[in-house]
Amino acid sequence: MVDAKPVLIQARITANNPVMPGVFQLKLRCPEIVTAARPGQFVMIKCGADRLLRRPISISGTDIATGEISLLIAAVGKGTDWLAQRTTGEHLDVLGPLGRGFSLEPGADKVLLIGGGMGIAPLNFLAEQAAAMGKAVTLVLGARTGAMLCPASHLPEVNERVLCTEDASVGIKGRVTECPDDYIAAAAQIFACGPLPMYRALAKDPRFNSGNIQVSLEVRMACGTGLCYGCTINTRGGLRQVCRHGPVFNMNDILWEELADL
């Protein structure tokens, strides 16, 4: 499937609501992006006239009927703090959809999604598409504490949901990297999104050596279109740009020991 060319539009904000402390959901009306977007892709948003560089934000869902995309955003810097303060009716300068997304195999009837913290954002969109294709979806989602887990009201409808917290305040005590063997063995495809330590743990775990695991990387990006080479990483196939060749990669293709902290 050939990805559609990105478009640059003025997208109207239709909602901007808090989801949990420090995290908000932004909805934008941009039908041109909705019809082209695939799970794992992202948009680049201009955050105010005084900030030259756009911010890359994963698409966490689409609504064909309303022409809206949903973005789950953590307010962790000046750009995202600025976005958190926007109100309904305002317009944002948005470029997208960008990047290479997840690839669901038609014959994979059972899929496993592994998310750490804000990694739920692109997995939300992926779960929606997998369910629409009739696949059985298991979501394993973890965080350090229950307060850092995305609320159930903002999680996708899946066949089975497993929550993990390191402090045992919610669900199973432990990390998502300690995913039960049964879930791994039953999955025809595995997808993951989370912080770099999570990926490194998965890459070292022999249970995940099937070669059929797709991961979404989050790195600093300047342009989001492959022009600046600022997001280049080293892989077994040579140098690759996360914004253009990713952000989704096969986990075993990445040279994790050479990847700087994201």
Instruction: Using the CB atoms, write b or e for 57-82: b if 16+ within 10 Å.
Output: bbbbbbeeeebbbbbbbbbeeebbeb
Q: Give the chain's mean pLDDT.
A: 93
Average pLDDT over every residue of 209-218: 87
pLDDT at residue number 262:
52
Q: Which CATH number fits domain 7-98: 3.80.30.20, 2.40.30.10, 3.40.50.300, 2.40.50.100?
A: 2.40.30.10
Return the pLDDT at 3. 66
Do 110-258 and 7-98 have the same topology in CATH? no
The pLDDT of residue 1 is above 60: no
**pTM surpassing 0.85?**
yes
For residues 63 and 29, give the distance between their C-alpha atoms in angstroms, rounded to a whole number: 9
Three-state secondary-structure class, residue 131: helix
pLDDT band at 51 (very low <50, low <70, confident <90, very high): confident
pLDDT interval class at 50 (50, 70, 90): confident
> Percent of the chain having pLDDT more than 90?
82
DSSP annotation of 252 reads: G
The two structure tokens encoding residue 152? 């159930």
CATH of 110-258, one of 3.30.70.3420, 3.40.1410.10, 3.40.50.80, 3.40.50.300: 3.40.50.80
Name the residue ranges covered by the structural domains of the chain: 7-98, 110-258
Reported confidence tier of residue 258, pLDDT bands at 50, 70, 90: confident
Query: How far apart, in Å, are the Cα atoms of 163 and each of 64, 173, 175, 176, 255?
Result: 29, 9, 9, 8, 29
- Given a cut of 60, whether residue 2 has pLDDT beyond it is no
**Per-residue pLDDT at 4 exceeds 80:** no
